[in-house]
Chains A and B, each alone.
Chain A
Amino acid sequence: MTRVVVPIGPQHPALKEPLNFRVIADGERIVELELNLSYSHRGIEKAAEQRDFIRALPLIERVCGICSHSHSTVFSMGIEEIMGVEVPPRAQYIRTVIAELERMHSHMLWLGVAAHEVGFNTLFMWTWRDREAVLDTLEELSGNRIHYNMNEIGGVRVDLSPPQVDAALARIPVLEERMRAYVAMLEDEETMLARFRGVGTLSREDALRYGAVGPTGRGSGVDYDVRRDDPYLVYDEIPWNVVTDTDGDVYGRTKVRIGEIKESLGIVRYCLEHLPDGPIRVAAPKAAPPGEIYSRYEAPRGEVAHFIRTNGTDRVERVDIRTPTLANWTSVVYSLVGRPLADIPVIVAAIDPCLSCTSRITVLNRGEDARGETSPYTGQAGWFP
């Protein structure tokens, strides 16, 4: 039996961001897989320690280009809890609206990318066209398509005016109709069924063992969602359901994501129709008392967590960011073993990987493997958060 080592990445047409697989293949089948992450370390955690809360928020928002609101919300929620600041209900509703619009555009982007990976480019064009409606809504509400910068410590930056609310509500029926079309396609579109069904199977036990989060876990029947199980913002006040599926393959994850878009549409409609009156922010103190907090949030890709330690000044002493992609990688490595090489793009895409968000550490000088790299700052070998 001949085993071949196939290097995939860090630069590869199937990958949108740098990542390296050392795939050991027996013919077409994957026998073993080694994953190397963290090619795009940006040092955001350290940079956040050097800025006060006001200036750290736009930086934290830029951890991810898709889940930007997730990171800024989880960070500001943590700081607000340490400060003991109560965010007004209107601000909570506005944050929820933006969060769910973000989830919708992220899942639509994913659906397009997944379809593109299996060669179904028609669906890719369709979902990205529909995603424009969501992005237009976000642009009208926040002034920008991707980095909304809606949060500030103690509330939100801008208010929603009645015409903005009406314009956003008017787009929802169109999107609901499109989602119905996608659900119908899921049932009878041969291209999707052939490439999604039975690919990348992950049982419920394995999803739990490898700590899969978000749609990856829920697609394997793990009934867990931070929004329901540790409610934040207004998720405990509004009607919505956690979407799960028992298929456990890429098909199951697709069904979960389309289901979540439909739920998000309902949440956005409810929040916009029941937007409470009142202030959009309260004056927060400049400095936070010493404290530690582990702040959690259900981002489109799964649970994102920020560990924040404050020391009585106007900046954090330490912020540690755990992104959902990091939690999902082990399940990918597991579900790829035994599959043909051609399944790598779709199984990798199925967790909706976001690689530069995941790059929290850069390791220089790995023992015998050392490439002789040293820190640009200290001239010494080591690792840098």
Chain B
Amino acid sequence: MTVLSEMLRNLVSRPATTLYPAEKVPVPAGFRGRVECDDERCIGCSKCSLVCPASAITMVDSPREVEFRGKTMMRKKKPRVAVYRCIRCGLCERHCPADAIHLRSVLSITGTDREEVLA
């Protein structure tokens, strides 16, 4: 009986699946997607690269002046993230003292940049 009523309901109701290209699946606010680093905030402390379980973050030379807790300081390095090695655990974001590295709500499992995919 339950099956019959469900069948009749399904005859008149709209599809259960999301009509993808026309309709996007809503992404919640705290979704852990592609890792991005805010260049203006990063102080180059290497903490993100040390906690990364997948060793996806390497520090590269990038000297510049940054503001940190009201003081101007000279940073030497910044992180480079191999987004296809990243397991999106959020540890870099959690341990960043400068609130510079974040997991954005952008999906990170597709891409066309060969260098980035193979990094």
User: Chain A residues in contact with chain B, CB under 8 A?
Assistant: 51, 54-59, 122, 126, 129, 136, 139-144, 147, 149, 152, 157-158, 164, 181, 184-185, 189
Contacts and interface: CB of A to CB of B under 8 A. Distances in A.
B64 to A, nearest CB: 28
A356 B65 CA distance: 49
Nearest to B3: A122
Contacts of B90: 143, 149, 157-158
Contacts of B32: 143-144, 149
B51 A143 contact: no
Given A143-B103, A144-B88, A181-B2, A59 B53 contact: yes
Interface in B32-71: 32, 51-53
Contact of A58 (B3, B30, B31, B89): B89
Nearest to A62: B87
A158 B32 CA distance: 12
A58 B94 contact: no
9 contacts: A55-B91, A58-B91, A59-B53, A140-B28, A140-B29, A147-B87, A149-B89, A184-B2, A185-B2
B16 interface: yes
Contacts of A51: 53
A98 to B, nearest CB: 13
A144 B32 CA distance: 6
Nearest to B7: A122
Given A55-B53, A58-B53, A144-B88, A158 B3 contact: no
B94 A157 contact: yes
Nearest to A157: B94
B51 A54 contact: yes
Nearest to A132: B16
B53 A142 contact: no
A266 B31 CA distance: 26
Contacts of A126: 6
A77 B95 CA distance: 21
Interface centre among B30, B88, B94 (most CB of A within 10 A): B30
Contact of A143 (B3, B28, B87): B28
Contacts of A189: 2
Given A58-B53, A139-B31, A189-B2, 13 more contacts: A55-B91, A56-B53, A58-B87, A58-B91, A129-B16, A140-B29, A143-B28, A143-B30, A147-B89, A149-B90, A152-B94, A157-B94, A185-B2
B27 to A, nearest CB: 9
Contacts of A136: 28
B53 A139 contact: no
A144 B30 CA distance: 9
A142 B30 contact: yes
Contacts of A57: 53
B21 to A, nearest CB: 20
A313 B118 CA distance: 35
Contacts of B29: 140
A54 B91 contact: yes
Contacts of A141: 30
B85 to A, nearest CB: 13
Interface string B98-110: 0000010000000
Interface centre among B32, B89, B91 (most CB of A within 10 A): B89
Nearest to A56: B53
A59 B88 CA distance: 12
Contacts of B94: 152, 157
Nearest to B95: A54
Contacts of A59: 53
A56 B91 CA distance: 12
Contacts of B16: 129
Interface string B71-93: 00000000000000001111100
B3 A55 contact: no
A58 B90 CA distance: 10
A34 B88 CA distance: 41
Contacts of B53: 51, 54-59
A136 B103 CA distance: 18
Nearest to A140: B28
A59 B31 CA distance: 20
A140 B30 contact: yes
Contacts of B88: 144
A147 B29 CA distance: 17
B34 to A, nearest CB: 13
Contacts of A54: 51, 53, 91, 95
